[in-house]
């Protein structure tokens, strides 16, 4: 059941990406190297591949929405299992698991095809809509 539009997903991408970068300081686990750098890396990567996605909020459309959602799914799985995979579950695990599961859920519930708005650049120029 895919009820999240690609435009809504785009907003979530940038918000969650920024939250993942800031989470170690907001949630107080910034004194553990792996627990800190993994969400920061995944958040920054999400922002970069969101900018490259061919959807309403992509700046340089190079990646398909299907590829984007696959990257989200893989990122979510890695984030969710990271406390146990990298051995920091005794220190912190809940933020990684929760953000990971949310990312997996968003990937599974987002539509795979952008709406008609996809064909408009912010400058008003049309993109090719052949997919």
Task: Name, in order, each residue with C-beta under 8 angstroms of 62's C-beta and a sequence gap of 6 or more.
Answer: 52, 53, 54
Token pair belonging to 111? 């539509």
pLDDT tens, residue by residue, 21-80 = 999 999 999 999 999 999 999 999 999 999 999 999 999 999 999 999 999 999 999 999
Instruction: State how far the Cα of 44 lies from the Cα of 16, in Å rounded to an integer.
Output: 10
pLDDT, residue 128, reads 47
pTM here is 0.85
pLDDT tens, residue by residue, 70-127 = 999 999 999 999 999 999 999 999 999 999 999 999 999 999 988 765 544 444 444 4
Q: What is the mean pLDDT of residues 2-20?
A: 95
Token pair belonging to 18? 């920024």
130 has pLDDT over 60: no
Instruction: State how far the Cα of 45 lies from the Cα of 42, in Å rounded to an integer.
Output: 5
Domain-by-domain residue ranges, the chain? 6-113
If you compute the radius of gyration of the chain from its CA atoms, what whole number of angstroms results?
Answer: 16
pLDDT, residue 129, reads 45
């Amino acid at each position: 059941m895919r009820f999240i539009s690609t435009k809504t997903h785009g907003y979530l991408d940038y918000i969650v990406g920024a939250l993942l970068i800031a989470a170690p300081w907001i949630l107080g686990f910034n004194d553990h190297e792996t627990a800190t750098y993994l969400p920061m890396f995944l958040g920054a990567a999400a922002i970069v591949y969101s900018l490259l996605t061919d959807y309403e909020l992509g700046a340089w459309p190079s990646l398909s929405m299907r590829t984007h959602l696959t990257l989200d799914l893989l990122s979510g799985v890695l984030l969710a299992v990271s406390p146990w995979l990298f051995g920091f579950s005794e220190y912190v695990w809940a933020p990684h698991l929760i953000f990971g599961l949310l990312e997996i859920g968003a990937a599974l519930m987002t539509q795979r095809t952008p709406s008609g708005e996809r064909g408009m650049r912010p400058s008003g120029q049309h993109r090719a809509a052949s997919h």
